Structure 1
Amino acid sequence: MSNADTLVILDFETTGLSPDMGDRAIEIGAVLIENGKVTDRFQELMNPGQRISGFIEDFTGISNAMLKDAPPCAEVMQRFAHFIGDYNLVAHNASFDKRFLDAELKRISRNYAGQFACSMLLARRIFQHAPNHKLGTLVEYVNIPTDGVFHRALYDSEMTAKVWLAMLEQIQENHNIQTIPFELVQKLTKTPAKSVQRLLSSWS
């Protein structure tokens, strides 16, 4: 059974909100966590074959000039598919990133074997008293030092990884569950907040 401390945490920057509306990925960042430690990183810009809006340039800090000489999405996604291998996957607001991962991999006839979990949904169960569950808020809530800019893919994935590991540590400390299976995390993300303590108590 795979564990929740060994997986790939990823983040996309994109031209918009929906691949179904023609939006494309413009950057992918990811970290590989093995046994609770970051052991590898992946970060590449990719040319989506279309200009990005001024809003996206301002939001991400990625300009059309930066993307002009970037490799095409297909080339980058081939490398990223190799990077993620068979690992399980995590993203903050995973429904967004999963849509783009699925859409970009479908274009190159690639797939992945791992399962997805959402760090934002887990945070709503584990950090119930946080002011909100945006990534930046959670980073501050668990006192993680910051020295980068949010909305760049690798930085966001690294911050998500730190929040993720902090949540696993809290589960371990509060419920005496030394090894946390990925299956438990998936169950937690679908469990009503009021029932989380009961699930964790029964698991331990």
Structure 2
Amino acid sequence: METVAVIDFETTGLSPAMGDRATEVAVVIVADGKIVDRYQSLMNTGTRIPAFIEALTGISNTMISKAPPASEVMRALAEFVRDIPLVAHNASFDSKFLDAEWLRINQRRRQEFACSMLLARRIYPSAPNHKLGTLVRHLGLPSAARHHRALADAEMTAHLWVQMVSDIQQQYGLNTVPHEFLLALQKAPKTQMTSCVERAKCRLGL
């Protein structure tokens, strides 16, 4: 199984374009189907956390006031992740915050994100919904005591990712499941999965 970096952000809101900032980031490295390394930190951006976000995550303004500056955290994150392929649940959210925070320190992302939510919609169509917690319960995977903290959610996503890659490998008779194949699969129309898989297999020589 290809090595990936599974990332999760907690933030002050939904969009960096609207001035929202990250409050916490965590990454777990998954290699050979196991979590082999972790990085987690709160981060101080000087932005106040709304009360409803504090209630959701448990991250308070007092906690953030004692956290390292965002620039320091994001540099450490860049060194930790390097060029390892990235994974997130609802990657469109996490990628926006990663790109916005890295841009502030003149760091640019070179690798593409795979999205465990998009893939789950295609390979687990019978799941009640495709939220992270629901999928973890549906598949009987290890669950964190508290959701909406970056490391807990990154670890749950990592367990989900390992299960999905294994299921994809078995379902489509693959010896290996490259990141490129998963990037193609997550974009495939749900009604055309078989043909899209065959094209991707052919293109990648699988």
TM-score interval (norm. to shorter)? over 0.9
- Structure 1: state its 5+ residue gaps: none
Aligned ranges 1:66-145 → 2 under 5 Å:
66-145=63-142
* Structure 2 counterpart of 1:57, from 54, 59, 66: 54
Is 1:7 aligned to 2:30, yes or no?
no
* Structure 2 counterpart of 1:161, from 158, 163, 167: 158
Amino acid at match of 1:185: L
How many angstroms apart in 2 are the aligned matches of 1:198 and 1:148?
40
Q: How well do the aligned residues superpose, as a CA RMSD in angstroms?
A: 1.3
How many angstroms apart in 1 are the aligned matches of 2:96 and 2:90?
11
Contact kept, 8 Å, 2:144 with 2:156, in 1: the verdict is: no
How many angstroms apart in 2 are the aligned matches of 1:27 and 1:131?
29
* Structure 1 counterpart of 2:197, from 178, 196, 200: 200
Is 1:46 aligned to 2:39, yes or no?
no
How many angstroms apart in 2 are the aligned matches of 1:147 and 1:164?
15
Would you say how many aligned residue pairs link Structure 1 and Structure 2?
201
CA deviations over 1:55-99 (Å, ceiling 9, x no partner) = 010011111111111011111000001111011101111011000
Is 139-148 or 40-49 further displaced after alignment? 139-148
Which residue of structure 2 aligns with residue 148 of structure 1?
Answer: 145
Contact kept, 8 Å, 1:117 with 1:185, in 2: the verdict is: yes
Contact kept, 8 Å, 1:87 with 1:113, in 2: the verdict is: no
Which has the higher relative contact order, 1 or 2, with Cα contacts under 8 A spaced 6 or more apart? 1
How many angstroms apart in 2 are the aligned matches of 1:110 and 1:117?
20
Is 1:18 aligned to 2:9, yes or no?
no
* Structure 1 counterpart of 2:187, from 185, 190, 193: 190
How many angstroms apart in 1 are the aligned matches of 2:147 and 2:17?
25
Amino acid at match of 1:153: A
The CA deviation at 1:152 is: 0.3
- Structure 2: state its 5+ residue gaps: none
Contact kept, 8 Å, 1:175 with 1:201, in 2: the verdict is: no
Identity %: 51
CA deviations over 1:93-120 (Å, ceiling 9, x no partner) = 1011000000000000112322111110
Amino acid at match of 2:19: G
Contact kept, 8 Å, 1:31 with 1:41, in 2: the verdict is: yes
TM-score, normalised relative to structure 2: 0.93
How many angstroms apart in 2 are the aligned matches of 1:13 and 1:96?
10
Contact kept, 8 Å, 1:132 with 1:138, in 2: the verdict is: yes
